[in-house]
């Protein structure tokens, strides 16, 4: 649907909604002099933790991915699928799980304390790194798996028939795969961690572990220093643009690693390597599954403690997720082509907190911005979900155009008939998958809502955070379990909906 009025309107709205807030931030920014000394520390911390997170995630992903490539075992497919799950896992839920395992009263410290060893502290830099690795290790593993699967089977059979040694195999196959995928993975994870807000909010904080996004939030919420928030927004914008340009240069098209899992027979995983590989797989599995298990176990006890305000917050979250999904899918329908995809990618170089700040400044002359918390959250989440939705829908939409575009033209089908009779029915599956992803992301998002919310307008992730903040850990665990169920439920429902309708 290139250049239909619908697409043009959608593109212009997208541009206005991202550039508008940015322009307001630019106008409002009071010059760099308005920065507090702590803000420079925040900038340094942001870059440093993103760098460490990226390096750690990729370095740990290499042995895990290699083990998954060369070993076959029951449950392997499930584990590979689970590697995709953190993407739709609400950050606050994962943080709850990590605290249950690594926190002061967590499992790890129970063991260490029992052995008389020094306890670990989850708050600060290493907590932030832990959470970032938790989210991005699976992403890096999936990207590497995709890379390995791209190796033609013939080359592997050739290597076997030549009787290549392990060292030679490393040099001709595994080494090149890692060298090809790792730079892209590093950059993608670095970019993701640059805009880290919820993790820094819950596990960081203080002058030594504050990201720029978190500093924006603090400037707005605690100091109500709009000028400084705007200046910080400017810095975050520069970071995002720089990282976005870097990402475009380094990453290949399979950047998000939503790959298939094709069988690949390898014989180099025998002998003692079975044990080391097994160890890596077990460690990764435990690292990902134990925190989630802890959330479920504690949450089941906490469900009894859910009060009315948590239920109301859950209702808000469902409404926000629904509105975000509808809005995002309308955009996606209009912009599902290569140009639209670029536009959407450009739009997310603007971070949610910068957008939030800009929208706050835009709304302030007209309404009390706090009353707009939920609509603004829905809007920002729709924007943030759009590149992912387009990444899923566009390839198949383009294929549909290639297959049937000429038939459509020859019949003279109207745009509406094409959309209703052909486009939507043929793309049910990717549309359902994308809608599920966007709904889950929106449901679990703890970002711009924190900037705007007052006590009456919390979403469920924010409610979990507030319960944690007031040390009602049981109730927080119950609310986190509810949030997990809602996010997964929304994803499964929409994704299934697309698949069933196709059959």
Partner 1 sequence: MLRLEELRIDMGGGTLDADLSFAPGRRVAVLGPSGAGKSTLLDVIAGFRTPISGRLAWGDRDLTQVPPQARPVSILFQDSNLFPHLDLARNLGLALRPDGRKPGAEEMPRIEGALARVGLEGLARRKPGTLSGGQQSRAALARVLLMARPVLLLDEPFAALGPGLKREMLTVVREVAETLGALTLMVTHDPNDARAFAQDVVLVTDGLVHPPVPVEPFFSVPSKAFREYLGELG
Q: Tell me whether residue 245 or residue 411 sits nearer to partner 1 (CB atom).
A: 411
Q: Does residue 157 interact with partner 1 by CB under 8 A?
A: no
Q: Cα-flanking dihedrals φ and ψ of residue 103, to 5°?
A: -70, 180
Residue 353, H or E segment: helix 352-363
Query: Does 414 engage in binding with partner 1 (CB under 8 A)?
Result: yes
- Return the structure tokens found at 345: 């990618």
Q: Which is nearer to partner 1, 153 or 425 (CB)?
A: 425
Please give the full DSSP string across 264-275, using - where no structure is assigned.
Answer: ---STT-TTHHH
Q: Among residues 2, 9, 162, 421, which is the contact residue for partner 1, using CB under 8 A?
A: 421
Task: Confirm or reject binding of residue 500 to partner 1 (CB under 8 A).
Answer: no
Q: How far is the CB of 400 from partner 1 (least distance, A)?
A: 10
The nearest distance, CB 503 to partner 1, in angstroms, is 11
How far CA 411 is from CA of 17, 396, 407, 422, in Å, comes to 37, 22, 6, 13
Q: How far apart are CB 367 and partner 1 at their closest, in Å? A: 42
Closer residue to partner 1 (CB): 121 or 403: 403
Q: Residue 317: which residues within 8 A CB-CB, separation 6 or more?
A: 443, 459, 460, 461, 483, 486
Does position 152 bind partner 1 by CB under 8 A? no
According to CB under 8 A, which residues from 200 to 239 bind partner 1? none
What character string, x for contact with partner 1 (CB under 8 A) and - otherwise, covers 423-442?
--xx----------------
Site residue total, partner 1 (CB under 8 A): 18
Cα–Cα dist 385/221, whole Å:
25
Footprint of partner 1 on residues 310-369 (CB under 8 A)? Answer: none
Smaller CB distance to partner 1: residue 77 or 421? Answer: 421
Q: Judged by CB under 8 A, which of 406, 454, 493, 496 binds partner 1?
A: 406
| Segment lying near partner 1 (by CB under 8 A), choices 29-37, 302-310, 401-409, 463-471 | 401-409
Q: How far is the CB of 410 from partner 1 (least distance, A)?
A: 5
Neighbours of 460 (CB within 10 A): 30
The verdict on 503 binding partner 1 (CB under 8 A) reads no
**Dihedral-angle region of residue 454 (phi above 0 means left; psi in -120 to 50 means alpha; beta otherwise):** beta
Tokens 């119950």 locate to: 478
Contact 119, 107 (CB under 8 A): no
Residue 67 sits at the vertex; the CA angle it makes with 63 and 71, to the nearest 5 degrees, is 175
Are the C-beta atoms of residues 287 and 135 closer than 8 Å to each other? no
Instruction: Return left, alpha or beta for 251; rule: phi > 0 is left, psi -120 to 50 is alpha, else beta.
Output: beta
Spatial CA neighbour of 383 closest among 1, 7, 28, 10: 10
Residue 364 or residue 406: which is nearer to partner 1 going by CB?
Answer: 406
Q: Which one of the spans 79-87, 99-107, 388-396, 416-424 is the region binding partner 1 (CB under 8 A)?
A: 416-424
**From 407, 492, 493, 500, residue interacting with partner 1 (rule: CB under 8 A):** 407
Among 197, 388, 418, 465, binds partner 1 (CB under 8 A): 418
* Contact window for partner 1 (CB under 8 A) among 114-122, 214-222, 338-346, 422-430: 422-430
- Tell me which stretch binds partner 1 (CB under 8 A): 44-52, 69-77, 246-254, 419-427: 419-427
Q: Which is nearer to partner 1, 368 or 402 (CB)?
A: 402
Q: Which residue has the tokens 């469920």?
A: 460
Q: Nearest approach, Cβ of 334 to partner 1 (angstroms)?
A: 19
Q: What angle do CA 157, 162, 163 make, to 5 degrees?
A: 95
Judged by CB under 8 A, does residue 412 bind partner 1? Answer: yes
CA distance 302 to 479: 7
Residues binding partner 1 (CB under 8 A): 403-404, 406-407, 409-414, 416-418, 420-422, 425-426
């Amino acid at each position: 649907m290139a250049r239909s009025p619908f697409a043009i309107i959608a593109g212009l709205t997208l541009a206005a909604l991202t550039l508008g807030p940015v322009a307001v931030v630019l106008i409002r920014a009071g010059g760099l002099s308005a920065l507090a000394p702590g803000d420079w520390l925040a900038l340094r911390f942001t870059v440093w933790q993103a760098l460490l997170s990226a390096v750690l995630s990729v370095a740990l992903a290499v042995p895990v991915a290699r083990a998954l490539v060369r070993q076959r075992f029951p449950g392997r497919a499930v584990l590979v699928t689970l590697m995709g799950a953190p993407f739709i896992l609400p950050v606050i839920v994962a943080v709850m799980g990590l605290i249950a395992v690594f926190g002061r009263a967590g499992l790890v410290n129970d063991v260490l304390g029992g052995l008389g060893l020094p306890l670990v502290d989850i708050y600060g830099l290493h907590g932030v790194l832990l959470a970032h690795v938790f989210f991005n290790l699976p992403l890096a593993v999936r990207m590497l798996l995709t890379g390995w699967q791209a190796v033609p089977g013939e080359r592997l059979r050739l290597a076997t028939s030549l009787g290549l040694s392990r060292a030679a195999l490393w040099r001709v196959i595994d080494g090149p795969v890692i060298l090809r995928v790792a730079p892209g993975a590093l950059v993608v994870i670095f970019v993701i961690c640059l805009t880290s807000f919820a993790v820094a909010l819950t596990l960081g904080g203080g002058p030594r572990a504050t990201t720029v996004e978190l500093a924006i939030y603090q400037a707005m919420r605690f100091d109500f220093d709009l000028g400084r928030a705007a200046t910080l927004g400017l810095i975050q914008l520069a970071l995002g643009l720089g990282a976005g340009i870097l990402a475009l240069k380094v990453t290949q098209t399979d950047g998000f690693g939503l790959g298939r899992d094709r069988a690949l027979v390898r014989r180099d995983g025998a002998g003692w390597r079975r044990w080391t590989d097994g160890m890596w797989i077990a460690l990764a599995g435990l690292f990902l599954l134990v925190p989630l298990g802890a959330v479920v176990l504690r949450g089941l006890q906490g469900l009894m403690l859910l009060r009315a305000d948590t239920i109301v917050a859950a209702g808000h979250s469902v409404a926000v997720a629904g509105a975000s999904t509808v809005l995002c899918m309308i955009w996606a329908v209009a912009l599902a082509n290569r140009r639209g995809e670029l536009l959407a990618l450009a739009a997310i170089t603007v971070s949610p907190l910068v957008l939030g700040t800009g929208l706050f400044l835009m709304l302030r002359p007209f309404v009390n911005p706090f009353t707009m918390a939920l609509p603004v959250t829905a809007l920002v989440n729709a924007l943030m979900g759009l590149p992912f939705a387009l990444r899923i829908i566009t390839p198949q939409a383009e294929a549909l155009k290639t297959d049937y575009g000429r038939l459509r033209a020859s019949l003279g089908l109207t745009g509406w008939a094409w959309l209703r009779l052909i486009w939507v029915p043929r793309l049910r599956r990717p549309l359902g998958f994308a809608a599920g992803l966007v709904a889950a992301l929106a449901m679990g998002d703890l970002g711009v809502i924190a900037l705007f919310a007052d006590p009456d307008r919390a979403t469920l992730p924010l409610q979990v955070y507030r319960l944690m903040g007031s040390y009602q850990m049981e109730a927080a665990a119950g609310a986190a379990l509810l949030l997990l169920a809602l996010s997964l439920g929304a994803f499964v429902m929409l994704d299934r909906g697309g698949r069933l309708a196709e059959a």
